[in-house]
Amino acid sequence: MNKINYGLIGAGRMGSFHGNTVVHQLTNANLVAIADPFKENADKLGKELGVSNTYADPEELLNNPDVDAVIIATPAKTHSELVIKAAQSKKHIFCEKPMAVTLEEADKAIEEVEKNGVKLQLGFNRRFVKSYKSGRDEVIQNNIGTPQLLRSLTRDPIIPNPEKIPEWTIFKETLIHDFDVLNYMNPNAKAIEVYTSADALIRPDLKDKGLLDTAVVTIKYNNNAIATAEANFQALYGYDVRTEVFGSEGMVTMGDVSSSDMKKYTNKGIAIDTTKQDTELLHDAYVAELNDFVNCIVYDQQPRSTGIDAKNALVIALASIESYKQNKPIKLSEIN
């Protein structure tokens, strides 16, 4: 199989992780270029990974004929523009979530991807966790009956630099994962209404500046299932990602806070080790999503998470924000 040449746009924490994944974990891909507006970041990562093509302007990377596909790991507000430019440059696109922050941006990105005949995959990594895939298979095979109650949660272990967190981050960048997972676990159903409760419980002093660090969103689906998505920015015990689907004939649960199935028993009780970062807890899923995207390109397959999936999750996020603002349930049709 021919190897796919990736270009990386964004050399921050997540971009660096993806770059290392391509170089050290994938056998079917190369990393041939890196772009970051702070070129010293691109140069530093390039030196670490043996990549000589580094740029400050991502358009220079997109003009590089050796680049087959790009990984977009930049701030959320830049994603849609980069997706559009990459599609127009005939590059396949792996984009970190969210794909866009408005529906207009999302529609334009999807349109350009389809018009230019390139692949687009979103970084909804939980779709690549083995237990999540197995759990969804159980739902699809009707082994737990009709979904009635669903729950998905994300709890970050620490809230770094809370003063710098953009407004509505908890919905557009954190809970967006949970919104996608709930859609994924309730296939062939559509979310129709949301209601949001949210507050700044960790840093109440920053609420007036737009910070919300704790949120619960209730989602109603057109198959009558009721789902809850919850997030908190400071779970002191570790990075916590879990999902549950309760059906008319059973239940599946996925995710775990522990780093392994090892338990320590002493006179102080029972203890487990936990993970402190998403890239630790979901390491295998992060690798699998990039590897799978290469296969989608080479074998002309549909990515497991598409632009439409990204838009569907974004609609829930935007409705959640409106629900918080108006303190009432919001129908998704009002957002669309």
Cα–Cα distance measured from residue 258 to residue 71, given in angstroms and rounded to the nearest whole number: 29
Identify which of 2, 60, 51 has the alpha carbon closest to the alpha carbon of residue 22.
51
Give 104's contacts (C-beta < 8 A, 6+ positions apart). Answer: none
Cα–Cα distance measured from residue 148 to residue 224, given in angstroms and rounded to the nearest whole number: 7
Inter-CA distances, 123 with 72, 197, 263, 289, Å: 10, 26, 31, 7
Q: Are 307 and 105 in contact (CB under 8 A)?
A: no
For residue 2, pLDDT over 90 is answered with no
* pLDDT range class, residue 277, cuts 50, 70, 90: confident
For strands 240-247 and 147-155, give the pairing: antiparallel
Biggest CA–CA distance in the chain, Å, is 64
Q: What is the pLDDT of residue 278?
A: 87
Domains of the chain: 4-118 (3.40.50.720), 129-281+313-335 (3.30.360.10)
Cα–Cα distance measured from residue 164 to residue 231, given in angstroms and rounded to the nearest whole number: 18
Identify which of 211, 119, 136 has the alpha carbon closest to the alpha carbon of residue 174.
211
Cα–Cα distance measured from residue 143 to residue 165, given in angstroms and rounded to the nearest whole number: 42
Cα–Cα distance measured from residue 252 to residue 82, given in angstroms and rounded to the nearest whole number: 37
Cβ count near 62 (within 10 Å) = 22
Q: What is the pLDDT of residue 187?
A: 95
Residues in the chain, total: 336
- Among 16-20, 179-183, 277-281, which stretch is predicted with the lowest mean pLDDT? 277-281
pLDDT in tens, 210-257: 999 999 999 999 999 999 999 999 999 999 999 999 999 999 999 988
Type of residue found at 161: N
Cα–Cα distance measured from residue 168 to residue 210, given in angstroms and rounded to the nearest whole number: 8
**DSSP notation for 76-145:** GGGHHHHHHHHHHTT-EEEEPSPS-SSHHHHHHHHHHHHHHT--EEE--GGGGSHHHHHHHHHHHTTTT-
For residue 336, pLDDT over 80 is answered with no
- The mean of the pLDDT values for the chain is 96
Q: What is the pLDDT of residue 1?
A: 53
For residue 62, pLDDT over 70 is answered with yes
Sign of the dihedral through C-alpha 86, 309, 154, 230: positive
